[in-house]
Amino acid sequence: MKPGTSATGTSPAANVDRRFGRGGQRRREELHAINERIRAKEVRVVFEGVEPGVYSIDKALEIAKEAGLDLVEISPNAVPPVCKVVDYKKFLYDQKKKQKELKAKAQKTVIKEIRFGPQTDEHDFNFKKNHAIKFLQEGSKVKAFVFFKGRSILFKEHGEILLLRFVNELEEYGKPEQMPVLEGKKMIMVIAPKKK
């Protein structure tokens, strides 16, 4: 046996090439069983212009061939498996498009941060409050925190009072998702927007 070959006489690289296309990606045929790769003896065929029903695999392949399309197994676990007669490239394109649309619809949660010092003055407080109102109205969460430098950690109750006042003034726009919690040198609070 030549070095670098398996018992079947092929190199390990050849085995990899059979399962994967260029760049290590699975070949598209492996996403679905298509045409002669379908193992079932009988399949339920879905195709416009053909009576939906159970056909032998040979008859189903014949229907697809006559239409100039592919027979694609879309529900392999059904009994019998469900196959659709489609243009496989277009079918894959439509599947990708649907997935993109679903991702776009799944709303991404945006978290905006607002930072205070333990001795924040009234003007700065109101300025940051107005920003928070805008963020909550846009549907973003607000992560408000008081950062304690050096010895100012001794006044952590000032930070807690400030954050509680902050959430109180935002109650028309948001509700606390997490009450003030001290994490290292930060006291953090998360405010979620109110559902419209």
Q: What local confidence, expressed as pLDDT, does residue 129 receive?
A: 92
Q: What local confidence, expressed as pLDDT, does residue 134 receive?
A: 93
Q: Where in the chain is the domain with CATH 3.30.110.10?
A: 111-193
Q: What local confidence, expressed as pLDDT, does residue 18 receive?
A: 42
Q: What local confidence, expressed as pLDDT, does residue 2 receive?
A: 52
Q: What local confidence, expressed as pLDDT, does residue 117 receive?
A: 84
CATH T-level assignment (fold) for domain 111-193: Translation Initiation Factor IF3 (3.30.110)
Q: What local confidence, expressed as pLDDT, does residue 23 receive?
A: 44
Q: What local confidence, expressed as pLDDT, does residue 75 receive?
A: 85
Q: What local confidence, expressed as pLDDT, does residue 88 receive?
A: 87
Q: Is the peptide bond before 80 cis (omega within 30 degrees of 0)?
A: yes
Q: Where in the chain is the domain with CATH 3.10.20.80?
A: 27-93
The closest of 99, 53, 95 to 74, measured between CA atoms, is 95
Q: What local confidence, expressed as pLDDT, does residue 190 receive?
A: 92
Residue 142 dihedral angles phi and psi, to the nearest 5°? -120, 125
Q: What local confidence, expressed as pLDDT, does residue 127 receive?
A: 93
User: So what CATH class is 27-93?
Assistant: alpha beta
Mind listing the pLDDT tens digit for each residue in 27-63? 444 578 888 888 888 898 888 877 888 889 898 898 8
Residue 173 dihedral angles phi and psi, to the nearest 5°? -110, -30
Which ranges of the chain have pLDDT less than 50? Answer: 5-6, 8, 10-29
Q: What local confidence, expressed as pLDDT, does residue 24 receive?
A: 43
